[in-house]
Structure formats: structure tokens, C-alpha cells
Chains A and B, each alone.
Chain A
Amino acid sequence: MSDLIHDQTPLAQAHNVTSGAADHGGHGAGHSRHLAHHFNSMSQQNASAKLGMWLFLAQELLFFSGLFLMYALGRYFYPETFLAAHELLDWKLGAVNTVVLLFSSLTMALAIRGAQTNNQKSIVTNLVLTIVCACAFLVIKYFEYSHKFHVGLLPGKYFSANLSELGLHHIPADFAPGVFFGVYFVMTGAHGIHVLVGIGLMIWLLVRARRGDFEPQSYAALENTGLYWHLVDLIWIYLFPLLYLVR
């Protein structure tokens, strides 16, 4: 994946220098320092990076599609359970997290805009804001998770919560809360790991942005991470109503 979001690393640079002599193909002297040895032009390089990222997102979607299928089946088999058990989730925290992630998508887009307009300060500021939002999301998620661990709202065979203590009085006949919390933890867990990866990518982008790596002609790494981040956001936008707002 690093190729899709990198334009040039030291390794590729070294490669480029040594291969220069062997390259009779005649690269013009005016070519960008970001152009890798095996591409003919920046537009070819950027188009490749972008197509690669879209394909990567396609496989991400299929990865999550399995989880959404799991959700659909769980809800199909146990509609009453999903209706009852969702009340054990805190929709207010979920809503706050939705706003936080939506805002981070905005700042991510603004960071890309900063690269397009060559506003280096805007790139850095907006990346920092995005990272802060992503961390805030995970902190809120941490509080949600630890509360559930504490009261025993756990997947499958580990489910041990005292439901009447938690204020859940209407319990359906074929109540299978383990299934609901299995779905909840696997889906939000997989999403959370993607948020973590996104934070890692943005920290690396931040280091590069402070080095002044991004220019109006060369910001594929920034744009591709942005695409990734919007997908992570989008998946949460589906997870929130499906898990927290069952009606």
C-alpha cells in the first residue's frame, strides 16, 4: 500500500539516480523530482496511484461487506434481540463520534485543498486537526468499550450482563444478546483498527508535510490517504444507525 500513497522514498530515489545513466529513453531535464524511474510523466504516475487507491478501497468495501452481511443475517434471525439490545448502547456517544468523524473528513479535505493551493501551513494545521479528531473518536470508543467490558456486555459465550440492572425490562423470548454484541464488537473493532491505521498514515503525512513534500503537482499521498479516510468515515456513517438507532 505504501506505493500508492508515496511518490518517492529514499530507496526509489537511489534507484532513480543509479538508473539514470542506463536510461537512454531521454527523460527531459525539467521533470519533477517526484517522478519515479519507471513512469514517463507525472500525470501517468498520479493516475496510477489514484487507480491503485480506488482498487484498494474496493477490496476494503468487500472486506466490510462480509461484516454487513453478518449484521443483516443477525438482524433477520433475531429482529427482537437487535431491537432490545441496541438500547444497551449509548446513542449519544455514537452521535458525538459521528460528528467528530464528519468534521475530520472536512479537515482532511481542507488539507488536500491546501496542497492544491500550495498553502503549506493549511496542510499542516488541517492534518493536525484530523489526527486530533481521529484520536478523540478512539478515546470515546475506549470509554464505550470499557463500560461494556465492565458490565459484561460481551460477545457470544462471554455475555454476562445483568439486564434488569442495566434497565432493560422488555426481554424477547428468543433473546440472543451474544449475537448482537458479537456483531457490535467485530464491526466497530474492525472499523477502529482502520481508524488507527489512518492515524498512523496521517502522522507520516504530517512529517512529510512539514518537510514541504506536497506541491500542487504532487500530492498523491495526501489525496489517497484522504480517500481512505473518507471511506473509514463512510463506514461509520452506516455503522452508527445500524447499531445505535435500531427501530
Chain B
Amino acid sequence: MLVRNESAVAQQAGATSAGAAPVAGGEPSYLTARKGIGSWLYTIDHKRIGLMYLVAVLTFFLIAGVFALMVRMELLNQAKDIVDADTYNKLFTLHGAMMVFLVIIPSVPATLGNFLIPLMLGAKDVAFPRLNLWSFYIYCFGAVFLVYSIAAGSFDTGWTFYTPYSTTTSTEVISATTGAFILGFSSILTGLNFIVTIHKMRAPGQTWTKLPLFVWATYATSVIQVLATPVLAITLCLLMMERLFGIGIFDPAMGGDPVLFQHFFWFYSHPAVYIMILPGFGIISEIITINSRKHIFGYKAVALSSVAIAIIGFLVWGHHMFVSGQSELVSVIFSFLTYAVAIPTAIKVFSWVATMYGGSIRLTAPMWYALSFLFLFTIGGLTGLFLGALSVDVHLHDTYFVVAHFHYVMMGGTIVAFIGGLHHWWAKMTGRMYNEASAKIACALIFIGFNVTFFTQFILGSKGMPRRYYTYLPEFHSLHVISTVGSWILAAGLFTTLGCFIASLMKGARAPQNPWGGLSLEWATQTPPIEHNFHHQIVVTSGPYDFPEIQTTTTNSHNVKGH
């Protein structure tokens, strides 16, 4: 079916890029245009930088994933299994800190975003290519500090670095916070680069309503990156000052306030949750639309809901402090605003479902991931409302319910979307196809493993199992065993995915220019793209979702009406 569609789609993509000559074919791709290790290390090509980020992000995903497996392994029994209590504290801290700062935040924007944004805009590169390379090296530099802190004895504060513990523990808090501080700058500069790119580098004719929704989602993400991350930077600076010089701002003994740290921290870290999930939304919009062969339902609503989430996301941080002693009035307002985020989020979910309704759905592997995302993210989002409700949160706060909720959003949402997106654009990035059957097996394993691991944690949490504990009461044992077994299934799925990608690189079939029949501009250039993306300046005449199948359907319905 894909093959049958291809000529029509190629034609359509050609029409989108009016004036573009047929692909020359002779010009080498960005992967082969330059040779040698230096051509990668000094590259200012957004596509190569995207791939370098991808390697780095996946490496840290593996490491932080292994930490998670060790945490689950330890929880298999109440007694000590593999590590002692102190090591356990370090393991979950490292898992959280690395997953947040090194994996999920850069995952989609820095890898797929870097690779795709200029292509989707018909541009030759991002607005500031050297800044882009700098961002990557700043990321690496920050990662060195985090890895150093592990080598130097690690830290055990949880990824949230809450005071007063973080100012008194003897573990490596300084190097870890320095790492997070530096990583923040990488994130800010990437966001800044994308905002300018999206404003200034769009192809002629590509108005804001002709942008692919992935671009809209990345735009909203970038706004949060630029405006929220500096607050994390100053927070971590103050934390370091507190530790090094005892300035006392978070220390009640000297007139400070430890809850102030929580306000500071969550002013960044709650918007950061949307830095993590919004790009995933963008990927899902692309995958579902392209595989339903139908114009996305409510384009403007989906696009603007990303922006709405970004804006409201700045105003909900207090819902992390319902039990930290903030005033009741403030808690009520934060609870209300938290509920308000559910509206634009639900608009997206409804639009995706409505897009599939009546569509001609192709169940490719990316579509499997998108459907998994819909299921998992819906659970993650709805349980967020439980936690946003004041009375319920008092019961669920700091239990496994919270752990399960944010894993459903971060892992079941962002990571699943990320892996789906990697499959979707794998052909464009590498020029190779992956094996459809093994990709689907991996997806199924991930879906099952994930639910087994984390759905049990909703039950554990609602029964009162507190988070971050090394051991537990006997009645929680069986659920912990199920959860740990689930983590093995999940790991098996992820390793299958890795194997699938490696096999594709080794012996995958050559990918055609446009394997999925996409109309956004990244499909209008050759696969893999040439170094400067396009042979000619693209001129955009139609939207990214005006699939040829739509024309037929509307004509038919008109005919029916006419008779």
C-alpha cells in the first residue's frame, strides 16, 4: 500500500515545493558529504548535531535505565537484595537526575527537533548553526559534571535537591548542581535558536498556519526553555551559595525559608514537565495524521493548545507544595490552574482521536507507538487531576501514586512518543528502513512491560506505599514483585528496539524519499537529505496535511450531495 501511494505522494510533495526540480540524486547525503571524525566534531550541520545528540541521549538513557532496573531489583524483596539503603538513595537520585536533565529534556527537541525543524521550514539550517554546536558541547560539559559526581561518590538528595537536606548532606551536591546548571544553558540556547529559526527562517509562503504541528509544539517548548530555565539556573546558584558560604536564604536558623527553595525549584521544574511532554505531542500529531491519511482535526486548536499549555504551565508550580505549608488560598488557586491545564491537553487528545475517526488508518510501527501514547498519556493525564485535587493529594502526596503518574506522562508519554518519532523519521535520518515486525514486537513489549511496572504502582500508592523508601511493609510485597517483573519486560522491549535500530543500520533496506507519504517539507528532499537540505529554495503553496486522499473524499461527498 505504501508503494502504491508513493508516486501520488511524491507528486504532491513536489507540488508543495513548487519550482523544485526532481531530486538530482547525484549529490551526496549529509552523512557522506564530509568524511572523518573532525567533520562530525566541528560540524555546524543541524542534522549531524541532531544525530550526535541522539547518540548522547540514548547512551544516558541506557545508563539511567540500568539504575532504574537496579532500583526495581532492590525492591523485589523487603530485605536487602543487591544494594544497601544509602546506595539505594543514590540510585534513585541518579536515575531521576539523569533521566530529567540528560535524557528527557533534550530527547525530542535536541535530537528530532534539531534534525527536523530546519527541514520542515524549508531552511538550510537553524538560525545560529555555531550556537547549535556550542549547545551540544555545553550539554556534554554539563554531563561531565554529573558523571563526575557519580564517580566522586554520588549524591542522594533526589533529583529535586530539596533544602535543607541538600545543604547539609555530605554527598556530591555541588558538582551535580553545577552539571544541572550548565545543562540548563544548553537547553536555553537550543530553545532560543529554535524560536529565532521558526520566526525568521520559514520558506516563502509558509505562513504560521502552514507549519507542521511538530514545529508548533517545538516553538511552545522553546518559549518555556528560554523563560523558565534561567530560574533554575539562579535557584541552583543560590543553593550552591548556601552550601559554600552559608548565605542563609534557605536556612530558617539564619532567617531564610526552605519552602522558598521549593517555590524557586518548581517555578522551573513544573514548566520543565511541559518542556518534556510538548515535543512528544508534536510527534504524535505528525504520526497520527500521516497514518490516518486525513487532515488533522482542529489544526489551529492543536497548535494553539501547545501555546496555551506553555503559558498556563508557568502558573501551576504550587501544586507540588500542597502539603509544604503554603496558604490555603494559594493552594486553591494552584489547584484551579492545574485543572485549567487539562483543557488544552484534552483538546489535543480529542483532536487526535477525531483525526483517526473516518481516516484510512495504517498500522505502522510509529502508529503503534502513537496509539500506545494515547492510552498511556490519557492515564497519566487523568491521574494528574487526582493529584491536583487538594483533598486527594493529601492522601496521595509522596506515594507511589505520584511515581506512577509521572512515569505515565514522562515515560509512557514522552519516551514512547520519542521512540515512535525515531521510527517515523528513522528512514529520513539514516536512509535505511527498520524491520516492521520486530519494531512492533518491541512496541508491544514496551507497552505491556510499562503497564505491568507502573499500573501496579498506582495501586501501591493508593494503599499508602511511600516513594523513595528502601523497604516496605509485607502487604506490599506481591505488587512490588509484579512491578519488578514488569520492569524486565519493559527492558526487553527497549533492548529489542535498540537491536531493531542497529540491525537497520547494518542491513536495513534502502529507504525511499518518502516512505510514509508525508507532505511536510522534510519529505520533499532526498533521503537522507543533502548537506544543505534542499537543492532549491522551497516555495510552500499548500498545508502540511492536505493529503491527496482528502481531495477524493471531499469530491465524492460533494457528488453525493449533488445527486
The yes or no answer to A15 lying at the interface (CB within 8 A) is: yes
Q: Is the CB of B192 within 8 A of A186?
A: no
Q: Is the CB of A52 within 8 A of B531?
A: no
Q: How far apart are the CA atoms of A47 and B128 in the complex, in Å?
A: 12
The yes or no answer to A132 lying at the interface (CB within 8 A) is: no
Q: Is the CB of A52 within 8 A of B192?
A: yes
The yes or no answer to B378 lying at the interface (CB within 8 A) is: no
Q: How far apart are the CA atoms of A4 and B27 in the complex, in Å?
A: 31
Contact of A156 among B200, B254, B532 (CB under 8 A): B254
The yes or no answer to A234 lying at the interface (CB within 8 A) is: no
Contact residues of B: prevailing secondary structure: helix
Q: Which of B303-347 contact A (CB under 8 A)?
A: none
Residues of B within 8 A of A65 (CB): 231, 234
Contact of A67 among B128, B131, B234, B242 (CB under 8 A): B234
Q: Is the CB of A9 within 8 A of B130?
A: yes
In the complex, how many angstroms separate the beta carbon of A182 from the nearest chain B beta carbon? 3
Q: How far apart are the CA atoms of A58 and B196 in the complex, in Å?
A: 13
Residues of B within 8 A of A62 (CB): 227-228, 230-231
Q: Is the CB of A3 within 8 A of B234?
A: no
Contact of A66 among B129, B238, B256 (CB under 8 A): B238
Nearest neighbor of B245 in chain A, beta-carbon distance: A155
Residues of A within 8 A of B40 (CB): none
Nearest neighbor of A50 in chain B, beta-carbon distance: B196
Chain B interface residues toward A at CB < 8 A: 27, 42, 44, 123-131, 134, 188-189, 192-193, 195-196, 199-201, 226-231, 233-235, 237-238, 241-242, 245-249, 251, 254-257, 260, 264, 530-532, 535-537
Residues of B within 8 A of A155 (CB): 241, 245-248
Contact of A1 among B42, B189, B201, B249 (CB under 8 A): B189
Q: Which of A37-45, A91-99, A103-111, A123-131 contacts B (4 or more CB under 8 A)?
A: A37-45
Q: How far apart are the CA atoms of A190 and B127 in the complex, in Å?
A: 29
The yes or no answer to A51 lying at the interface (CB within 8 A) is: yes
Contact of A22 among B27, B199, B238, B241 (CB under 8 A): B27
* Known interface pairs A2-B134, A58-B227, A182-B248; A19-B254 also in contact (CB < 8 Å): no
Q: Which of A70-78, A160-168, A198-206 contacts B (4 or more CB under 8 A)?
A: A70-78
Q: Is the CB of A48 within 8 A of B196?
A: yes
Contact of B226 among A55, A179, A186 (CB under 8 A): A55
Contact of A38 among B42, B124, B195 (CB under 8 A): B124
In the complex, how many angstroms separate the beta carbon of B358 from the nearest chain A beta carbon? 41
Q: How far apart are the CA atoms of A102 and B16 in the complex, in Å?
A: 53
Q: Is the CB of A178 within 8 A of B234?
A: no
Q: How far apart are the CA atoms of A225 and B413 in the complex, in Å?
A: 41
Q: Is the CB of B241 within 8 A of A186?
A: yes
Can you add 13 more A-B contacts, CB < 8 Å, to A9-B130, A156-B245? A1-B189, A2-B130, A3-B127, A3-B134, A11-B44, A12-B44, A24-B536, A25-B537, A52-B131, A52-B196, A62-B231, A70-B249, A155-B248
Residues of A within 8 A of B193 (CB): 52
Contact residues of A: prevailing secondary structure: helix
Q: Is the CB of A157 within 8 A of B248?
A: yes
Q: Is the CB of A38 within 8 A of B238?
A: no
* Known interface pairs A59-B192, A156-B247; A4-B131 also in contact (CB < 8 Å): yes
Q: Is the CB of B131 within 8 A of A182?
A: no
In the complex, how many angstroms separate the beta carbon of B423 from the nearest chain A beta carbon? 29
Q: Is the CB of B238 within 8 A of A70?
A: yes
Q: Give the contact-size bracket for chain A.
A: 35 or more
Q: How far apart are the CA atoms of A66 and B237 in the complex, in Å?
A: 10
Nearest neighbor of A175 in chain B, beta-carbon distance: B255
Q: How far apart are the CA atoms of A59 and B195 in the complex, in Å?
A: 13
Q: Is the CB of A56 within 8 A of B255?
A: no
Residues of B within 8 A of A22 (CB): 27, 530-532
Q: How far apart are the CA atoms of A82 and B256 in the complex, in Å?
A: 14
Q: Is the CB of B231 within 8 A of A38?
A: no
The yes or no answer to A90 lying at the interface (CB within 8 A) is: no
Q: Is the CB of B248 within 8 A of A156?
A: yes
Q: Which of A116-144 contact B (CB under 8 A)?
A: none
Nearest neighbor of B253 in chain A, beta-carbon distance: A157
Nearest neighbor of B260 in chain A, beta-carbon distance: A73
Nearest neighbor of B533 in chain A, beta-carbon distance: A38
Can you name 9 A-B pairs with beta carbons within 8 Å?
A: A1-B189, A12-B130, A37-B532, A38-B532, A48-B201, A66-B234, A155-B248, A182-B245, A183-B249
In the complex, how many angstroms separate the beta carbon of A77 from the nearest chain B beta carbon? 7
The yes or no answer to A176 lying at the interface (CB within 8 A) is: yes
Q: Is the CB of A19 within 8 A of B238?
A: no
Q: How far apart are the CA atoms of A67 and B130 in the complex, in Å?
A: 31
Q: How far apart are the CA atoms of A140 and B241 in the complex, in Å?
A: 23
Residues of B within 8 A of A156 (CB): 242, 245-248, 251, 254
Residues of A within 8 A of B196 (CB): 48, 51-52, 55
Q: Is the CB of B255 within 8 A of A78?
A: yes
In the complex, how many angstroms separate the beta carbon of B49 from the nearest chain A beta carbon? 13
Residues of A within 8 A of B532 (CB): 19, 22-23, 37-38
- Nearest 6 Cβ contacts at the A-B interface: A182-B247, A3-B128, A66-B234, A3-B131, A157-B246, A63-B230
Q: Is the CB of A182 within 8 A of B241?
A: yes
In the complex, how many angstroms separate the beta carbon of A20 from the nearest chain B beta carbon? 10
Residues of A within 8 A of B127 (CB): 3, 38, 48, 52
In the complex, how many angstroms separate the beta carbon of A38 from the nearest chain B beta carbon? 4
Q: Is the CB of A6 within 8 A of B200?
A: no
Nearest neighbor of B28 in chain A, beta-carbon distance: A22
In the complex, how many angstroms separate the beta carbon of A49 from the nearest chain B beta carbon? 8
Q: Which of A164-221 contact B (CB under 8 A)?
A: 176, 178-179, 182-183, 185-186, 190
Residues of B within 8 A of A9 (CB): 130
Nearest neighbor of A78 in chain B, beta-carbon distance: B255
Q: How far apart are the CA atoms of A178 and B409 in the complex, in Å?
A: 42
Residues of A within 8 A of B128 (CB): 3-4, 48, 52
Q: Is the CB of B247 within 8 A of A178?
A: yes
Q: Is the CB of A56 within 8 A of B260?
A: no
In the complex, how many angstroms separate the beta carbon of B232 from the nearest chain A beta carbon? 9
Question: Which of B227, B256, B530, B537 has its CB near the most chain A CB atoms (within 10 A)?
Answer: B256
In the complex, how many angstroms separate the beta carbon of B255 from the nearest chain A beta carbon? 4
Q: Is the CB of A11 within 8 A of B247?
A: no
Contact of B264 among A44, A47, A66, A154 (CB under 8 A): A66
Q: Is the CB of A59 within 8 A of B255?
A: no
Q: Is the CB of B231 within 8 A of A63?
A: yes
Nearest neighbor of B131 in chain A, beta-carbon distance: A3
Residues of B within 8 A of A40 (CB): 537
In the complex, how many angstroms separate the beta carbon of B166 from the nearest chain A beta carbon? 16
Residues of B within 8 A of A182 (CB): 241, 245, 247-249
Contact of A178 among B27, B189, B254, B531 (CB under 8 A): B254
* Known interface pairs A37-B124, A66-B231; A47-B200 also in contact (CB < 8 Å): yes
Q: How far apart are the CA atoms of A47 and B229 in the complex, in Å?
A: 24
Contact of A176 among B189, B227, B254 (CB under 8 A): B254
Residues of A within 8 A of B254 (CB): 156-157, 176, 178-179
Residues of A within 8 A of B189 (CB): 1
Q: How far apart are the CA atoms of A25 and B535 in the complex, in Å?
A: 7
Q: Is the CB of A158 within 8 A of B246?
A: yes
